[in-house]
Amino acid sequence: MGGATPTADLRSDTLTRPTSAMRAAMVDAPVGDDVYAEDPTVAALEERVAALLGHEAALFMPTGSMANQIGLRLHAGPGTEVISDHLAHVLRAELGAAAAFSGITTRSWVAERGRLDVETALAVMVPDGGAYQVGTACVVVENTHNFGGGTVQPLEEMRRLREGTRAAGVGVHLDGARLWNAHVATGVALADYGACADTVSVCLSKGLGAPVGSVLAASADQIAQARVLRKRMGGGMRQVGLLAAAGRHALEHQLERLAEDHRRTAQVARALGAAAPDVVDPAQVHTNILVLDVAAAGWSAAGFVAAAGERGVLGYPTDARHARFVWHLDIDDTMTQHAEDVLLDLLRRGGAAS
Ligand X SMILES: *Cc1c(COP(=O)(O)O)cnc(C)c1O
Minimum gap (Å) between residue 3 Cβ and ligand X? 31
Q: Is the CB of residue 268 less than 8 Å from the CB of residue 336?
A: yes
- Distance in angstroms between the alpha carbons of the first and the last residue of the chain: 30
Q: How far is CA 33 from the centre of its chain?
A: 29
| 157 to 186: interface string for ligand X, x by CB under 6 A | ------------------x-x---------
User: Should residue 146 be labelled a site residue for ligand X when binding is judged by CB under 6 A?
Assistant: yes
Binding-residue total with ligand X (CB under 6 A): 11
Rounded to whole angstroms, what are the CA distances from 124 to 108, 135, 136?
Answer: 8, 11, 9
User: Should residue 261 be labelled a site residue for ligand X when binding is judged by CB under 6 A?
Assistant: no
User: Should residue 65 be labelled a site residue for ligand X when binding is judged by CB under 6 A?
Assistant: yes
User: Should residue 287 be labelled a site residue for ligand X when binding is judged by CB under 6 A?
Assistant: no
User: Should residue 294 be labelled a site residue for ligand X when binding is judged by CB under 6 A?
Assistant: no
Contacts of 157 (CB under 8 A, 6+ apart): 116, 118
Q: Is the CB of residue 200 less than 8 Å from the CB of residue 217?
A: yes
Minimum gap (Å) between residue 62 Cβ and ligand X? 8
Instruction: Check the CA dihedral 338-339-343-346 and report its sign.
Output: positive
344, 345, 347, 351: CA torsion to nearest 10: -160
User: Should residue 64 be labelled a site residue for ligand X when binding is judged by CB under 6 A?
Assistant: yes
| 221 to 260: interface string for ligand X, x by CB under 6 A | ----------------------------------------
Nearer to ligand X, 40 or 236 (CB): 236
C-alpha 354/C-alpha 350 separation (Å) is 9
Span of 21-29, 63-71, 189-197, 253-261 interacting with ligand X by CB under 6 A: 63-71
User: Should residue 63 be labelled a site residue for ligand X when binding is judged by CB under 6 A?
Assistant: yes
Nearer to ligand X, 248 or 338 (CB): 248
User: Should residue 208 be labelled a site residue for ligand X when binding is judged by CB under 6 A?
Assistant: no
| 11 to 50: interface string for ligand X, x by CB under 6 A | ----------------------------------------
User: Should residue 142 be labelled a site residue for ligand X when binding is judged by CB under 6 A?
Assistant: yes
Nearer to ligand X, 251 or 276 (CB): 251
Minimum gap (Å) between residue 345 Cβ and ligand X? 29
Q: Diameter of the chain by CA atoms?
A: 67
Q: Which residue type does 81 have? A: E
User: Should residue 68 be labelled a site residue for ligand X when binding is judged by CB under 6 A?
Assistant: yes
For residue 44, give the H/E element and its range. helix 40-53
Minimum gap (Å) between residue 203 Cβ and ligand X? 6
C-alpha 148/C-alpha 291 separation (Å) is 8
DSSP 108-174: EE--GGG---HHHHHHH--S--TTTSPPEEEEEEESSBTTTTSBPPPHHHHHHHHHHHHHHT-EEEE
Minimum gap (Å) between residue 59 Cβ and ligand X? 15
User: Should residue 85 be labelled a site residue for ligand X when binding is judged by CB under 6 A?
Assistant: no
Span of 58-66, 252-260, 301-309, 345-353 interacting with ligand X by CB under 6 A: 58-66
Query: Which DSSP symbol is given to 114?
Result: G
- Cα angle 326, 68, 260; round to 5: 25
Interacting residue ranges for ligand X, rule: CB under 6 A? 63-65, 68, 89, 142, 146, 175, 177, 203, 214
